[in-house]
Amino acid sequence: MDTENILEIIKRSDKNRGAIIAILEEIQATYTYLPEAALRLVAEETGHSLTDIYGVATFYKAFSLKPRGKHCISVCLGTACHVRGAQAIVDEFKYELKIAPGGTTPDNEISLETVNCLGACALGPTVVADGHYFPHVTKGEVREIIARTKEEMEKINTETDDRIFRLPLSCPLCKASLMDPDHPLDGHPSVRIDVSANGRKNPLRLSSLYGSGAVAMEDPVPLNQVSPLFCPHCDEELPSFSICPECGSPMAALLVRAGCAWEICTRRGCRGHLLNLNQINLS
Ligand code: FES
């Protein structure tokens, strides 16, 4: 571990509790996990107790105290997925990767973990690999998921990959359509919302293809900044029902249809997103 590098990361922060999360994120991005020596250094330099720092590091699922692989596969073992046979999916991943949940392959390529709910219960058994959802997973698909994960999701062809599907979205508050055919992304109408950053609101366009991750901004938001998102029609802030499973920032909800939302992380650069098929309540 490079002590100077950690000190540099801490120096760039203002040392409050919110900044602790940003410090730990940067350390984890550098080392793929949070080394114990780094946590001790963060405690010493910020004036927080080591217990406080451990509390933050262990509260958020996105942080790991053990080295992680280049890719992360999470298998949901929540009730809805469990009754649909998720344990057999976990066993198949264990067999194929030769590691137990919580472990990383010896070549540091893939970490395997289990989670309690991914917010897509109707799609169970659900698996998420590097932020991409695989619905209704069967044992026979496990080997292919591993291969695709190693190939890296960014190389997926949005035209031919059947995990990429289009979502027509609207504002969950005023119900106006957010689709913008005049500014296509990935060859389809984009999703137009506003982002509040740099002291004003600016248009932010997202690909309407679930799983794509393509965005376009007229005035780029600084990386890692958490910014509220707004409906361009009613000008209200998009509601938040969840915390991002990747980084712990608030997620903003866009309406797919009654009671069903596409939630996206409000932190610039985080790819955290989920399809929430549970009934969302706006009252
Ligand atoms: S129980 Fe698996 S996604 Fe909710």
pLDDT of residue 217: 77
Percentage of residues in the chain having pLDDT higher than 70: 89
Residue 89 Cα to ligand 1 middle (Å): 13
Using the atom order of ligand 1, give the atom closest to the CA of residue 79: 1
Q: Which of 6-15, 32-41, 243-252, 263-272 has the lowest mean pLDDT?
A: 6-15
Distance of CA 158 to CAs 75, 207, 211, Å? Answer: 24, 11, 9
Average pLDDT over every residue of 81-107? 94
pLDDT of residue 171: 94
Q: With a cut of 90, say whether residue 96 has pLDDT above it.
A: yes
- Give the confidence band of 114 by pLDDT, cuts at 50, 70, 90: very high
Q: With a cut of 80, say whether residue 257 has pLDDT above it.
A: no
Residue 271 Cα to ligand 1 middle (Å): 19
Instruction: Select from 83, 87, 126, 128 the residue to mutate for testing ligand 1; criterion: most ligand atoms less than 8 Å from CB.
Output: 126
- Give the confidence band of 157 by pLDDT, cuts at 50, 70, 90: low
Average pLDDT over every residue of 111-137? 85
- For ligand 1, is residue 118 a contact (CB within 6 Å)? yes
Position with higher pLDDT, 16 vs 94: 94
Average pLDDT over every residue of 120-136? 85
Spell out the domains of the chain, with CATH numbers in brackets.
3-59 (1.10.10), 71-155 (3.40.30.10), 165-276 (no CATH)
pLDDT of residue 195: 92
Q: With a cut of 60, say whether residue 7 has pLDDT above it.
A: yes
Buried b (16+ CB within 10 A) or exposed e, 234-272: eeeebbbbbbbbbbbbbbbbbbbeeebbbbbbbbbebbb
Q: Which of 139-143, 153-157, 163-167 has the lowest mean pLDDT?
A: 153-157
Residue 123 Cα to ligand 1 middle (Å): 8
- Give the position of tokens 């409000």: 266
Residue 125 Cα to ligand 1 middle (Å): 7
- Give the confidence band of 182 by pLDDT, cuts at 50, 70, 90: confident
- For ligand 1, is residue 79 a contact (CB within 6 Å)? yes
Long-range contacts of 13-18 (CB under 8 A, 24+ apart): 13/46, 15/45, 15/46, 15/47, 15/48, 17/48, 17/56
- Give the confidence band of 22 by pLDDT, cuts at 50, 70, 90: confident
Q: What is the mean pLDDT of the chain?
A: 84
Protein residue closest via CA to atom 1 of ligand 1: 78
Position with higher pLDDT, 166 vs 82: 82
Average pLDDT over every residue of 31-53? 89
